[in-house]
Amino acid sequence: MSLSRKIGDLTEEIYEKVLLEQIKKDGNIPYHVGIITDGNRRYASSHGMDSNLGHVKGKEKLEEVLEWCMEIGTRVVTVYAFSTENFKRDNDEVRFLFTLISNSLLNLISDERVLKNKIRVKIIGSIDTLPKFLQDSIRKVEDATKDYDGYKLNIAVAYGGREEIIEAIRKIAEEYKSGKIEMKDISEENFRKYLYDGTIPDPDLILRTSGEERVSNFLLWQGAYSELYFSDVFWPELRKLDFLRAVRSYQTRKRRFGT
C-alpha cells in the first residue's frame, strides 16, 4: 500500500471518529432510517462483474450498515430490497434475487447478531405475488423473531408505495361495506393500521445511494415528512463515513413537518 493511500485511510478513520462523537453528543439520533439500496448493477458493471455479484455485494453491505445503525442507536431500519417494478427485469436476475433474499432471510434465523440484539424481522409488500419458497422463508424468519423487541428490520419485497396505499383503501372499503367501520372512523391515524405494517413509526431519515434523487415509490405515506439524503456512491461502495455524514446532515436540519 502506498504512503498516500495509508495517509488517506488514516484521515478517513479520524474523520469517522470525529463524526461519530459529534453524532452521539448531539443525541438527536434518527429512530427510524429508511434505505433505498440503489446501484448494485451499476457497481458490478463499473468493476467488470456479473450483475448478480453486485447484488451479493449489496447484501453484504446491508449487514455492515445495520451494524452502523445499531452503533449510533437507530432502532428501526426499513430497506428497499425489491420493488414491484423490479418484476420487469430479466427473469434470470429476478430468480437470482429471490433466491438471494430467501437464503439471506433463513440465515438471519441463526445469525448471532439477530439473536444477541433481539432484532425483529418483518417483510412488507405484496407477499402473495412472490414464489412459494420465498413466502415460506418469510414466514419462518418472521415467526422466529416475532417476540424480539430490541431492534426492528423491515425488508420491503415486492413493495410499491402506491400499491400499499391502494391496498389499504381496498381494505377500508371492504370494512365500510360490511359495516365494520363508519365514514367517521376513517382518519389519518386509523389509516395507518391498514398499511403493510401499521406499527412502525414514520422514518426520520431516508437515505438513497447511487446519486439518484427521488424516492421511487418507497414509503410514500410514511415518508411524507422524512428528511432525505442522497449519496453519490453506489450502494455496495457506501462507506461508514458516508453513512455518518447522512446522519450528521439529518441532525443539523430543523424539522418543521409542514409548519
Binding residues for Mg(2+): 38, 227
Distance from first CA to last CA of the chain, Å, rounded? 52
26 is catalytic: no
- Binding residue numbers: 38-42, 55, 83-85, 87, 89, 208, 214-216, 227
185 is catalytic: no
- Binding residue numbers for substrate: 39-42, 55, 83-85, 87, 89, 208, 214-216
Distance CA 222, CA 230 (A): 18
Q: What is the 3-state secondary structure (H, E, C) of 30-58?
A: CCEEEEECCCHHHHHHHCCCCHHHHHHHH
| Residue 35, beta-bridge partner list | 79, 207
- Cα–chain center distance at 11: 29
Q: Who contacts 146 (Cβ-Cβ below 8 Å, separation ≥6)?
A: 120
Of 240, 227, 187, the closest CA to residue 30 belongs to 227
Q: List the catalytic residue out of 9, 26, 50, 86.
A: 86
Contact at 8 Å (CB) between 159 and 166?
A: no
Distance CA 19, CA 244 (A): 6
What does DSSP assign to residue 27?
-
C-alpha distance from residue 244 to each of 29, 30, 94 (Å): 11, 12, 32
Q: List the catalytic residue out of 9, 28, 38, 52.
A: 38
Q: Which residues are catalytic?
A: 38, 86
